[in-house]
Amino acid sequence: MKKLFCCLFTVLLLFSLCVPSLAAQISDMDITVTVNDDGSAVVSQVWQTDADEGTEFYMPFFTNGYLTLSDLSVRDTEREYAVADDWDPDRDFDEKAYRCGLLRTGNGYELCFGISRYGANTYTVTYTVHHMFNAYEGADGTLFRFVNDKLNVTPTTVHLSMRLADGTPLTHDTCGIWAFGYDGDIRFENGAVVAATASPIESENHMTLMVELDKGILHPDRTAEGTFDEVKRRAFEDSDYGYADDEEDEGIGVFLVLCLVLSVGIALAVLIVSIVNRLRLKRFAKAFGYWRDPPCDNDLPAAAHLATLFRLCGEEKLIGALMLRMVIDGELAVEKTVSVGATGGEKTKNALRLVKEPQDDMFKEKLFAVLRVAAGGDGVLSENELKAYCRKDEKPLRALLDAAASEGHRYFTERHCFKKTEPHTLGGLTAEGKQKLGEVMGYRQYMQDFSLIGERELSEAPVWQEMLIYATLFGVAGTVIEQLKRLYPAQLPVLEQYDRDLAFLIGCNHGMYTSLRARENEVAARNSGGGGSASFGGGGGFSGGGSGGGVR
């Protein structure tokens, strides 16, 4: 008897596991929004569904005290649904079949329509939202939720397209766009704003869009209090969007206007100042002469920071210099990898192998951490892998460069080298600051000329290895290697290997930084409303849509 009971229990358990947990599904939701000149919008939603339980689909819609809905229509593949003025959610399946209606709630409406028949169905739901777009000080716009969170039946994919009824194209020149609540993106496409999910909507997800328009594109009937910047600030809370300060934007605007008015004079003044500063630096470097040791007490980030301030190198050069130092210290190795091409032939490429974690150098440790994540489990990196990683996540490498700049700044402020916070001319340096700049410029010139001035004390590898690190920083590594080859032919094999390794490391350096800057430009465009990935968080203060809904 006990065995029979156990068997029956097992069968019932397996049967319960085989029964679908959801009685309804929404596979696709395609939303089209047509915005009218008065700020109202016609919303059309096409739902692909499959239901075997319940009597109706419903969507809560919050009005925020000023939105209204009208012109509701629903149809499936067979017929147009009748609109009921007295929708009652307690009616049975047959009473709701082929009918739709708006149910008044304390927050607004519930948009409802009967399932009508079980199984696969396609419904087209259309309605007009009045006052979707409002007039604000300085701009017109909306922050609107098109897909609710906490749905008991969530769509697998959502695609939304928004256009203006008069055909005026929506572009980043006159429009800003942001998206919240889902995994996916928002973008400008063929004169429309397009938002799309990249993974299924879950219960905690929603699709909330914010659109800002220049004045004059629409003429909204309703004027809202305050500015659209205030709407943005609230929407950006708990999001991963950045926000540009209004005062900074206004300052930039004023500056641009002045530049337009006085463009010729300003351009000439900037050119003259730049030429004068360069001539002064050139005279200063000539008077200072050569410096034969690594500058700034052999503090690489400090030398890089000063050189960057005075435009002797770009900030990205520090990455290549650190990578070479790590190769010299045995923490990285450049090696060849062999792969089989599409035609079956072998391809040989350079790769970067992570050998051991650096010790006692914060910046090498930071760079090693970036490389380790980019490399994955095998600890080997190609140039393309480095570029792809920095294109995907720019923050770790940017944090390294910012930390190096901060450390460099600390080095000089502790020694009272700067009269100003960040000088770019000789006038901003104290006597000690000019000494440090002289070391940087003198060492750079020395590395370019040492074979011409009869220097012969560089035969020891540690000396010229350190020189190569700074030559990489200052962008003169090729010149230094060629001089070393001429002076020390006995070390030619070693120097040629360094030459090959440096070419690869410089390529990696360039690829990483180019990808970082491309990603930062994308982020800047995204923050300014140019489109891009949606933010999971944020979107507070929305109107329309709401929370909950699905099937019941």
Confidence of residue 360 (pLDDT cuts 50, 70, 90): confident
Q: How many Cβ atoms sit within 10 Å of the Cβ of residue 343?
A: 6
Among candidate residues 236, 262, 287, the one where a domain is terminated: 236
Confidence of residue 246 (pLDDT cuts 50, 70, 90): very low
**Are 231 and 306 within one domain?**
no
Q: What is the mean pLDDT of residues 446-464?
A: 76
Give the pLDDT confidence score for residue 454 in this predicted structure. 63
Give the pLDDT confidence score for residue 452 in this predicted structure. 78
CA atoms in the 13 A half-sphere facing the CB of 548 = 9
What's the pLDDT tens digit per position in 69-79?
A: 999 999 999 99
CB distance 535 to 180 below 8 Å: yes
Q: What is the mean pLDDT of residues 451-470?
A: 78
The pLDDT mean for the chain works out to 88
Confidence of residue 263 (pLDDT cuts 50, 70, 90): low
**Are 473 and 363 within one domain?**
yes
In a domain, 363, yes or no: yes
Closest to 129 in 3D by CA, of 414, 545, 546: 545
In a domain, 129, yes or no: yes
**Are 203 and 320 within one domain?**
no
**Are 343 and 487 within one domain?**
yes
**Are 413 and 493 within one domain?**
yes
Q: Give the CATH number for residue 63.
A: 2.60.40
**Are 227 and 345 within one domain?**
no
In a domain, 383, yes or no: yes
**Are 217 and 108 within one domain?**
yes
In a domain, 130, yes or no: yes
**Are 353 and 452 within one domain?**
yes
In a domain, 496, yes or no: yes
Confidence of residue 19 (pLDDT cuts 50, 70, 90): very low
In a domain, 397, yes or no: yes
In a domain, 263, yes or no: no
**Are 224 and 340 within one domain?**
no
**Are 305 and 415 within one domain?**
yes
Residue 349 lies in domain:
299-515
In total, how many domains does the chain have?
A: 2
CA distance 348 to 346: 7
**Are 232 and 329 within one domain?**
no
Q: What angle do CA 231, 233, 237 make, to 5 degrees?
A: 120
Confidence of residue 15 (pLDDT cuts 50, 70, 90): very low
Closest to 321 in 3D by CA, of 509, 496, 480: 509
**Are 324 and 211 within one domain?**
no
In a domain, 59, yes or no: yes
Pairing state between β 134-137 and 223-227: parallel
Give the pLDDT confidence score for residue 522 in this predicted structure. 86
Pairwise pLDDT comparison (267 vs 497), residue with the higher score: 497
pTM: 0.70
Distances (CA, A) of 75 to 24, 88, 356: 18, 19, 66
Assign 3-class secondary structure to 141-204.
Answer: EEEEEEECECCCCCEEEEEEEEEECCCCCCCCCCEEEEEECCCEEEEEECCEEEEEECCCCCCC
